[in-house]
Amino acid sequence: MCPFGGAGGEPGKNVVVARRSFDPRAYDARLVVQSLLDGVDCHELDRLDGFDQEMHVRPIARFALVSAVLVPAWCASSAFGAEDPAEWTKTPSGLEYRVVGRGPDGPSPTVDSGVRVHYSGKLEDGRVFDSSRIRGAPAEFSVSGVIKGWTEGLQLMHAGDRFEFRIPPDLGYGARGAGNVIPPNSTLLFEVELFEIVPPFQHVALDEAKAKSTESGLKYEIVEAGTGDALTDQAMELRFALFDESGKVLTSSLREGQILGRGAEVAERMGGSMFRELPDLMRVGTKLRCVAPASMAFHDPTRVGMQADTPTHWEITATRGVKIPAFVAPDESKLTTTESGLKYQVLSRGSDPNAKQAKAGDGVAVDYAGWLMDGTPFDSSYSRGTRFVTELKKGGLIDGWIEGMQLMKEGDRFLFVVPPTLGYGAGGSPPKIPGDATLVFVIELHKIP
């Protein structure tokens, strides 16, 4: 459960992703993943961040809740979009771009490719409406699945390039805009850094001579062994494609976003027990081909037009591992107690002597992990692989967070022990936080605007 809460420790309301109807006679790529989400709480939306359904698949509404707070200083401190001697080039479509930095020569993405990028997007008045940099994790999506300005612009780039784009309304969100974030007929400014071109997914049958099986029935082949960190104690970021028996791509991470979490968390969220087994089979960089009955992949296979024994065919690559802090029981001798009863320990200080001190009302970007006093984890931004962006104000956070973070500067890492009176109180926040629970948090403050 996230630290959202009303005054007096009232838990915040969960944000539920609405389910779409579907035709059981045929697979629907969007439904395959959507049907796995019974209900996503506010923090699980971190892994769904991105542009709206044209830009990725998921809305940017959660980021917009705090973008008004984050905008002023981030924009003021950045030359992104400002006029300088660098010349803008205009294409016949009206897209404008300029090269900020060049990588090595190489191929450009095509409309069939995927890309892995960092980006920031803002309006002409300087308001930031989305940023993978603020969230601290690159985005990955299909070149053909974004607004027209992005589809054209990405094909001008090579891996390693950094471009700025000025996208007119007819190549962006047009007269309709995008919710309350992007007004109608808006010109959009983007800074984009292209890290990797992701080839289109192609189904390749499992090589039976090389395939192995787990006791549960998951059949897999190691296509690339991977040389990175082991994933048994980390959150894993997974690039994936799901194919039907004819080899057609039903859905993929390029359409739905990458899966990220610890094995048990991914299994719970995605609904398939097969995901619990992946950390023992993979390292960062490992690529697998897997075949598993639908009952191992989905809570209810019939909701995506499959029977329990229908084979599902997967290609899965571990693209990143995220280390999650281990629980350490608070040492009372190292804790400082404030007048309110909040306890804290400075784990490390940031290195910047000019780092900003957080104050009430600030927008902040943090990483955190939370446990009950017995060490039971209940939430972690690390397991989602993106920073938590929020405001330090009542009604948005529990009181222990608001007080505690005002003790911190950018770059600091603190441990907090939050009593029930500064947390979720007698009501708790079911099902993970019981009533009158004392909470332990490790918080790392990355950025204050």
Tens-place pLDDT, residues 341-374: 999 999 999 999 999 999 999 989 999 999 999 9
Residue-range domains of the chain with CATH:
7-11+327-447 (3.10.50.40), 49-198 (3.10.50.40), 212-323 (3.10.50.40)
pTM of the model: 0.72
pLDDT of 370 reads 96
Burial class (CB in 10 A: 0-12, 13-18, 19+), 78: middle
Q: CA-to-CA distance for 250 and 28, rounded, in angstroms?
A: 7
| DSSP character at residue 327 | P
pLDDT score at 438: 98
- Out of 97, 119, 414, 416, the active site residue is 119
What is the tens place of the pLDDT at every residue in 69-126?
A: 444 444 444 455 555 546 899 999 999 999 999 999 999 999 999 999 999 999 999 8
Active site residue 280: no
Instruction: Determine which one of 46, 52, 130, 412 is catalytic.
Output: 130
pLDDT score recorded for residue 34: 37
Q: Is 129 a catalytic residue?
A: yes
Active site residue 119: yes
User: In this predicted structure, what is the pLDDT of residue 45?
Assistant: 35
Predicted pLDDT of residue 224: 96
- Read off φ and ψ for residue 89, nearest 5 degrees: -110, 135
147 as an active site residue: the answer is yes
In contact, 398 and 5? CB cutoff 8 Å: yes
Catalytic residue among 60, 147, 324, 433: 147
Q: Tell me the helix, strand and coil percentages in the chain, rounded to 5.
A: 20, 30, 45
First to last CA, the chain: 26
Catalytic residue selected from 190, 201, 243, 275: 190
pLDDT on residue 383: 83
Query: Which tokens go with 346?
Result: 């400075």
Instruction: Quote the pLDDT of residue 449.
Output: 65
Type of residue found at 45: L
* pLDDT attached to residue 137: 84
* Catalytic residue chosen out of the listed positions 4, 173, 382, 414: 173
pLDDT at 33: 34
pLDDT at residue 106 in the model: 92
Tokens of 396: 């948005």
The Cα–Cα gap between 276 and 391 comes to 34
Residues of the chain scoring pLDDT < 70: 1-86, 304, 449
- pLDDT of 84 reads 55
Of these residues, 27, 51, 97, 129, which one is catalytic? Answer: 129
- pLDDT score at 99: 96
Q: Does the annotation mark 243 as catalytic?
A: no
In 7-57, alpha helices (H): 29-34
For residue 141, indicate whether it is catalytic: no
The pLDDT value given to residue 148: 96
